[in-house]
Structures are given as C-alpha cells and as structure tokens.
Amino acid sequence: MVDVTVVVPHHGDPAPTQALLAQLAAQTHPARLVVADDASPIPFPDVDGVEVVRRSTNGGFGANVNSGAAVASGDAILVLNSDLTVEPTFVADMVAAAQRHPRRVLSPRVVDEAGREAWTGRAFPRVRHQVAAWLTPLARWRGTTAWHRAVGHDVRAHGAGGEVEVDWVVGAAMWIPLADFRAAGGFDERFFMNSEEIDLQRRLRARGVRSVALRAPTVVHAGGGSSPSASRRRWLVDGELRYADKWGARRRLQAGLAAATGVNLLVNAGRRAAGRDVRPLEVARTELSMIRGRR
C-alpha cells in the first residue's frame, strides 16, 4: 500500500473543487484529501473527509501548495488543479506508475474538454524557446511539430509517443515524492503563478529526482479555472523573468523578447496597413511593459 496525500489548491468558485473532491472520494485507492484555500474570496466550505488549510493571504500557486503539503503525510503528494476530471482508478493508476518509476515526478496524460492533448512534457526553458513563443509571425505554424520543438515542447511525450523522461512536466497534475519535495524546500514562494513547477523540478533533478510524462492515466483539464484571462499572460511573463533571474539569463531573455517585440511591431504594422483590426503601437507598449517586469 502506498500512502498518498492529494493537495488541491483552491481560489475562487468552490464548485469545481467540490466536483473534483467527489471524484477523489470515490477512488479505488484511498488517499488523504487536503484543500489549500489561498485566501479565496469565496472561502472553501468544510467537507467531511477533507482537511482544509486556510491561508490568510493570497500567495499564489506555489505558496498555496506548500501550505497544503505542510500537513501532508505518506509517500507522495499528488498536486491537482481544481478544474480536473479524473476516473475512479486515477490514484491507483498513478500509484502503479510510481512503482514503475520510483522517486520520480510524474504527470498523467492531460487533455482538454474537446479531447486535445496538452504538451505536458517540456524542455527546461532557454531564451530561444521563449523568443519563438513571443514572435507573432510564427503563430501560423502553431500546429506543426517544428513550432512545438521551437518553443520547448518535448515532442517525444505527445501523441503516439510512450512514457518518456523529460526535463519538466506541467503543474496541472503532478505526483511528487513527499520526502524529496520537503528536502528540496518545496515551491519557491517568490513565484506567484507560472514557472514555479519548472524551478522545483530543476532543483529536484539536482537531487536525482527526474520527471516522467506518462501516457496513462488521462485527466481532463477544463483550464482557466485558477486565473482570470486578463492576468494570465502577465503572470506567465513574470514567472519566466523570475525563473531567468534565478537561473542566470534575465538580461538575455529581456533582450531577446524586446527584439521579438520589434519584429511583432513591423508585422502588425503591415497587418494594419492591410486593413486588419490591430493596434501595433499599443500591442508593442503592452509587450514592453511586461518584458520590463518586476524584481
């Protein structure tokens, strides 16, 4: 028997979290259930069989998971976004995967509500990946393997590929050995939202704990349940800059993104001249404000 604590970070509408907890309560493999309430504007209600950890301030994803993990017990934590749908054997399947891949961070296969598979396995960020993702002219090739490679997606871990070791897996659903999580110091709480799981997995790798993208089980991720869309891109860039600052590439990243913004400005100017509804200078100013970021 493997003892697992499921940690569900919560902020906002309780309904998705409650729906996930109902699915977790019906699992074929028992798990301890912990909800970490990140000073939600709608406090998460008490639920039988669920331990609710209530934070007094909103610290973001990593800080919230740390609060839940602080009361965790057992062999591993299973960190799950609140907007997931899982099958009754999900925890048992993750336990079986952990027995095949001991002392590893694991991600299940993740699909959206239309069945499209997410790119859960990725390479550690390099400036070239982030610049490629920033360039508007490349967006027309988003559906190609070449584009996914260019932005740092590990194509071996997608589609017809098999279980594969990757640099890092996305944080929507992660199995993490609890002892190693604590030994590594948990999530760095200076990250508010985005890139905190990359930083953690980089530190875990230094301890010999690598990451594996699984082909089963599969979870459905509704997406968007944990962050307002207006904030998402700025949080993404803030996280990338924080990661680059910590791991030594902030200035190169800012220079690369600024150069890409210049290219985007020229392309958008051409699109506007062709009659498209786009405001090139406004877009460029917004991008540059994000690139300057906060320390």
Helix 127-134 vs helix 250-273: angle between axes, to the nearest 10 degrees? 20
Mean pLDDT of all residues belonging to the chain: 93
Average pLDDT over residues 207-226: 87
Please report the pLDDT score of residue 295 as a whole number.
52
Nearest in space to 193 (alpha carbons), one of 286, 63, 36, 34: 63
Residue 20 within any structural domain of the chain: yes
Mean pLDDT of 244-259: 94
Residue written as token pair 């099958």: 87
Q: Whole-angstrom Cα distance, residue 148 to residue 10?
A: 30
At residue 1, does pLDDT exceed 80? no
Question: What per-residue confidence (pLDDT) applies to 294?
Answer: 66
Q: What is the value of pTM for the model shown?
A: 0.92
Tell whether 43 and 169 lie within a shared domain.
yes
For residue 80, what are the domain limits?
A: 4-120+158-225
**What value does the mean pLDDT take over residues 193-200?**
95
In a domain, 234, yes or no: no
Is residue 57 located within the same domain as residue 94? yes
The CATH number of the domain where 28 resides is what?
3.90.550.10
pLDDT value for 162: 77
Overall domain count for the chain: 2
Residue 291 sits in the same domain as residue 189: no
CB 204, CB 105: distance < 8 Å: yes
- Regarding whether 142 and 17 lie in a shared domain, the answer is no
Percent of the chain, pLDDT > 90? 89
For residues 147 and 267, state if they share a domain: yes
Same domain, 197 and 146: no
Please check whether residues 41 and 10 belong to one and the same domain. Answer: yes
Per-residue pLDDT of 121-180, as tens digits, reads 999 999 999 999 999 999 999 989 999 999 999 999 998 777 999 999 999 999 999 999
Give the C-alpha separation, 184 to 233, whole Å.
Answer: 28
| Position 224 pLDDT exceeds 50 | no
Residues 178 and 254 in one domain: no
User: Based on the domain organization, do 163 and 285 belong to the same domain?
Assistant: no
Region 23-45 average pLDDT: 95
Report yes or no: 122 and 167 within 8 Å, Cβ to Cβ.
yes
